Amino acid sequence: MKADSTGLRVLSRAECMELLASAPIGRIVFTDRALPAVQPVNYVLDGERLVIRTRAGSKLATAVRDAVVALEADAFDPAGRTGWSVTVVGHARAVPEGREFSRLALLPLTPWTPRDGQRPEHRDHYIVLPVEQVSGRRVEAYP
């Protein structure tokens, strides 16, 4: 078992990817007007990339276009004092309408926010975040 300087178990890339696939929500970290911003998002793992569905024209859609961003997902059991945390860093990109957009629309990725009918400014928008760097830690119970 490999541990970091605080005693947390360091996860392999394969373990990180498996945990990412199991989490329904994460926090995306991006820059908004030269300041760090964090926003919860639901996502799905599509091979070696994360896919986020948002509204076109949203602050998130605008801020992460062709930018380096991070996404962190985790799960913790306070009673058992166990859990894990995984962080991904990569270059996010918007997916234009076309073949890839149509394929992403078939993924099991349902928005959590209310929808505004057919208003064009609220149409679907997909952000793809390739898993360029990934790191993770596991908190294990101790006596």
The full set of domain ranges for the chain reads 9-138
pLDDT at 9 over 50: yes
Give the pair of three-digit tokens for residue 32.
């908004």
pLDDT confidence band for 8 (50 / 70 / 90): confident
- Selected residue with higher pLDDT from 111 and 45: 45
> What pLDDT does 19 receive?
97
CATH code linked to domain 9-138:
2.30.110.10
Contacts of 126 (CB under 8 A, 6+ apart): 51, 52, 53, 54, 94, 95, 101, 104, 105
* Percentage above 90 pLDDT, the chain: 54
Give the C-alpha separation, 68 to 9, whole Å.
27
Give the C-alpha separation, 95 to 25, whole Å.
20
CA distances from 71 to 81, 104, 115 (A): 23, 19, 24
pLDDT at 96 over 90: no
